[in-house]
C-alpha cells in the first residue's frame, strides 16, 4: 500500500479522500507492528540495570559481563539477516508473530537462567528475535502506510525503540532496590505477548505481500474496506504493475526466471538503494550514539558531576531521546527526510566535536553535559528515526524485505564493532580524540547524504527509485529521467 495511495506514478501527492477513520485504523495497526521496535529498545535498556545485580549472583568476570551484553548484538545480526527470507516466505504478519514467540522463549530462558551458560543462550535467542523484528517492522510499516503519513508511521518504529529504552530504565529503577534482575527481564514478556496477540487477531497481512503471492483479491477487499472500491482497484492495478516491472528487471538481470532474494540485491538497478541502505546503517552506529547512550553515566562522572545514581542519569538521557523522537515523528511528513537527516548530522558533528574538545581541554562540566545532550537530541530528531524510515522506503518491493534485512544486519554489526572498540580506542588515543573520530564520521556522512540520499516524502516506490538513480547519475530502468521533479 505504500505506493498505493498516491495517483499516477508521474504525479505527486496522496489521494485526498482517505477517511480519517481509515487513517486511525492504520495508525492502530502501525502502533501494534512497532511493538517490535519496543522489544528492540527494551532489550537495549534492560541489560545495563540487570547486569549490576546478576554479575554478583553469577560471579561474572568482566569478559563474561561484556559477553552478556554483546551476544545479543551477534544474535541480532543473524536474526536480521534471516528476517528477509522469513518475511517473504511466511508473510509480514506471521513473521512478526514468530518474532514475538521467540522473544517470549528467550525471556523465559533468561528469567529462569541457573548459570552463565543458560544466560548467554537466552540472550542469543533474544537477539535473534530483536534482530528479526528490527528488519521486519520498517518493511511492514511501509507496506501498510498511505503515502501522506508514511513517514510518521515509519518513525513510530524509532519512537517505540526509545519508549522501550526508557521503560527499561524505569523498570530497572523500580526493581533496583530489591536487586531482582529476573523480574527486570520478565517484564519483556508483556509487550512480546501483546505482539503475538496483535499478529493473531488484529493485524492484516501486507497488501503488497498478498499481491506478490497471487492473493490480489484478498488485498483488494482489505484496501476497499479502507479506501473505497474504485481506489482499491487502482491501487491493486498499480501494485501488480510495479511487481511485474520488478520481476521483468529481475529476470533480465539474472537471465533466468525466478532468481531473486539475496542475489537480486546485487543487481545494478537495486545497487543505489543498497549503497544508501548499507551506508546509512553503518554511519547510524559509527557516529557513536550508543557509546553516549551506554556510557553516559561514566562520561557524566568524568566531568566531575556526582554520578552516584547512574540509573537516574540513564532515565534523563532516555527522556531526552524520547522527547526529540516525538518531535521527529510530528515533523517528518512536513519537513521531509533529507533536511531532517542533514540538520541532524550537522548538529551531531559540531556537538560531538565540542564534546571531544571539552575532554581534551578539561572544559567546564556543565558545558560538557550540554554538548552531550545536544548530540543525543540531534540524533533522536533526525538520523535515528529517519534511518529506519528510509530503509523501509528505498528498496523496490520485490527486495524490500531482503534489503531491509541486510541493512539492519550491518547496523547491528556496526553497533557490535563500536561497543567493542570504544573503550580500547579511548584508552589508546584518548577519550576526547575518540569523540573527534565520531565527529569526522558524522561530517563524512553529511557529505554522503547531501550527494546520494534523495527525498522520499510524498513519493511512491517508482518515484523514489527514479530519484535514487538520478542521484547516482544514471536513469532508472524503464523511466525517463525527471531530475527537476524528483531530486
Ligand atoms: C539505534 C540504536 C540506538 C537507538 C537509540 C536506534 O535508532 O539503531 O542502536 O540504541 O536508536 O535511541
Q: Which of 224, 358, 189, 372 is nearest to 297 (CA)?
A: 372
Tell me how far apart the alpha carbons of residues 264 and 82 are, in angstroms, rounded to a whole number. 15
- What are 84-101's pLDDT values in tens digits? 899 999 999 999 999 999
**CATH match of 20-486 with 1.20.1250.20:** yes
Q: Count Cβ neighbours within 10 Å for each residue of 311-349 and write b for 16 or more, e otherwise.
A: eebbbebbebbbebbbebbebbbeebbbebbbbbbebbb
Q: Give the residue with greater pLDDT, 410 vs 50.
A: 410
Work out the pLDDT band at 260, boundaries 50, 70, 90: low
C-alpha cell at 312: 537516574
H or E element in which residue 364 lies:
none
Proportion of the chain above pLDDT 70, given as a percent: 89
Atom 10 of ligand 1, nearest CA residue: 290
Q: Is the pTM of this model over 0.85?
A: yes
Atom 3 of ligand 1, nearest CA residue: 290
Tell me how far apart the alpha carbons of residues 311 and 333 are, in angstroms, rounded to a whole number. 34
Q: Tell whether the model's pLDDT for residue 368 goes beyond 90.
A: no
Atom 5 of ligand 1, nearest CA residue: 162
Report residues whose beta carbon is within 6 angstroms of any ligand 1 atom: 44, 158, 161-162, 165, 284, 289-290, 293, 321, 384, 411, 415
Work out the pLDDT band at 486, boundaries 50, 70, 90: very low
Work out the pLDDT band at 259, boundaries 50, 70, 90: very low
- What are 404-415's pLDDT values in tens digits? 999 999 999 999
Within 10 angstroms of residue 176's Cβ, the number of other Cβ atoms is 18
pLDDT at 231 (0 to 100): 79
Atom 11 of ligand 1, nearest CA residue: 384
Q: Tell whether the model's pLDDT for residue 8 goes beyond 80.
A: no
Give the list of residues 6+ apart from residue 289 with CB closer than 8 angstroms, or none: 376, 379, 383, 384
- Distance of CA 39 from the midpoint of ligand 1 (Å): 12
Q: Tell whether the model's pLDDT for residue 487 goes beyond 50.
A: no
Give the position, in ligand 1's atom list, of the atom nearest the Cα of 134.
8
- What are 435-467's pLDDT values in tens digits? 999 999 999 999 999 999 999 999 988 899 999
- What are 96-137's pLDDT values in tens digits? 999 999 999 999 999 999 999 999 999 999 999 999 999 999
Signed CA dihedral, 325, 330, 331, 336: sign only: positive
Give the list of residues 6+ apart from residue 252 with CB closer than 8 angstroms, or none: none
- Distance of CA 223 from the midpoint of ligand 1 (Å): 33
pLDDT at 4 (0 to 100): 37
- Distance of CA 347 from the midpoint of ligand 1 (Å): 17
Average pLDDT value over all residues in the chain = 87
Signed CA dihedral, 205, 206, 208, 213: sign only: negative
Rounded mean pLDDT, 286-309: 76
Of 223-227, 261-265, 331-335, 341-345, the one with minimum mean pLDDT is: 261-265
Q: Which of 92, 397, 475, 90 is nearest to 241 (CA)?
A: 397
- Going from N- to C-terminal start, the domains of the chain cover 20-486
Residue written as grid cell 537527516: 341
Tell me how far apart the alpha carbons of residues 153 and 27 are, in angstroms, rounded to a whole number. 7
Work out the pLDDT band at 9, boundaries 50, 70, 90: very low
pLDDT at 477 (0 to 100): 57
Q: How many residues does the chain have?
A: 487
Amino acid at each position: 500500500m505504500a505506493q498505493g495511495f498516491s495517483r499516477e506514478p508521474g504525479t505527486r501527492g496522496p489521494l485526498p479522500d482517505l477517511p480519517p477513520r481509515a487513517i486511525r485504523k492504520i495508525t492502530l495497526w502501525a502502533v501494534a507492528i512497532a511493538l517490535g521496535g519496543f522489544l528492540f529498545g527494551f532489550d537495549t535498556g534492560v541489560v545495563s540495570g540487570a547486569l549490576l545485580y546478576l554479575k554478583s549472583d553469577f560471579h561474572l568476570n568482566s569478559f563474561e559481563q561484556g559477553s552478556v551484553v554483546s551476544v545479543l548484538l551477534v544474535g541480532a545480526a543473524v536474526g536480521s539477516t534471516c528476517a528477509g527470507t522469513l518475511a517473504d516466505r511466511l508473510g509480514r504478519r506471521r513473521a512478526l508473530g514468530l518474532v514475538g514467540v521467540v522473544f517470549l522463549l528467550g525471556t523465559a530462558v533468561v528469567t529462569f537462567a541457573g548459570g552463565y551458560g543458560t544466560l548467554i543462550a537466552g540472550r542469543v535467542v533474544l537477539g535473534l528475535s530483536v534482530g528479526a523484528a528490527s528488519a521486519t517492522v520498517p518493511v511492514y510499516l511501509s507496506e501498510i502506510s498511505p503515502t501522506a503519513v508514511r513517514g510518521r508511521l515509519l518513525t513510530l518504529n524509532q519512537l517505540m525503540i526509545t519508549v522501550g529504552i526508557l521503560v527499561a530504565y524505569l523498570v530497572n529503577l523500580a526493581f533496583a532496590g530489591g536487586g531482582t534482575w529476573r523480574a527486570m527481564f520478565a517484564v519483556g514478556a508483556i509487550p512480546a505477548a501483546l505482539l503475538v496477540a496483535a499478529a493473531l487477531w488484529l493485524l492484516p497481512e501486507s497488501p503488497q505481500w498478498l499481491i506478490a503471492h497471487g492473493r490480489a483479491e484478498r488485498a483488494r477487499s482489505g484496501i476497499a474496506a479502507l479506501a473505497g472500491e474504485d481506489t482499491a482497484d487502482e491501487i491493486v492495478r498499480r501494485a501488480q504493475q510495479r511487481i511485474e516491472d520488478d520481476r521483468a528487471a529481475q529476470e533480465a538481470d539474472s537471465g533466468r526466471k525466478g532468481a531473486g532474494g539475496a542475489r537480486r540485491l546485487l543487481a545494478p538497478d537495486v545497487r543505489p538503494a543498497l549503497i544508501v541502505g548499507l551506508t546509512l546503517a553503518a554511519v547510524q552506529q559509527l557516529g557513536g550514539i550508543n557509546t553516549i547512550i551506554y556510557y553516559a553515566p561514566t562520561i557524566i562522572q568524568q566531568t566531575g558531576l556526582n554520578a552516584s545514581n547512574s540509573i537516574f542519569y540513564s532515565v534523563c538521557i532516555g527522556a531526552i531521546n524520547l522527547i526529540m523522537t516525538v518531535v521527529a515523528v510530528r515533523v517528518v511528513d512536513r519537513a521531509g527526510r533529507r533536511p531532517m537527516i542533514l540538520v541532524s548530522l550537522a548538529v551531531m558533528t559540531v556537538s560531538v566535536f565540542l564534546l571531544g574538545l571539552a575532554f581534551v581541554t578539561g572544559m567546564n562540566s556543565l558545558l560538557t553535559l550540554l554538548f552531550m545532550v545536544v548530540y543525543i537530541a540531534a540524533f533522536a530528531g533526525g538520523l535515528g528515526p529517519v534511518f529506519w524510515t528510509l530503509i523501509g522506503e528505498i528498496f523496490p518491493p520485490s527486495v524490500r524485505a531482503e534489503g531491509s534485512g541486510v541493512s539492519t544486519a550491518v547496523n547491528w554489526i556496526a553497533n557490535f564493532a563500536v561497543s567493542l572498540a570504544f573503550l580500547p580506542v579511548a584508552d589508546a588515543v584518548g577519550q576526547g580524540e575518540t569523540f573527534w573520530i565520531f565527529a569526522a564520521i558524522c561530517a563524512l556522512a553529511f557529505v554522503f547524504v547531501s550527494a546520494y540520499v534523495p527525498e522520499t516524502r510524498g513519493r511512491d516506490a517508482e518515484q523514489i527509485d527514479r530519484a535514487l538513480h538520478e542521484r547516482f547519475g544514471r536513469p532508472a530502468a524503464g523511466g525517463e529521467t525527471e531530475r527537476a521533479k524528483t531530486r
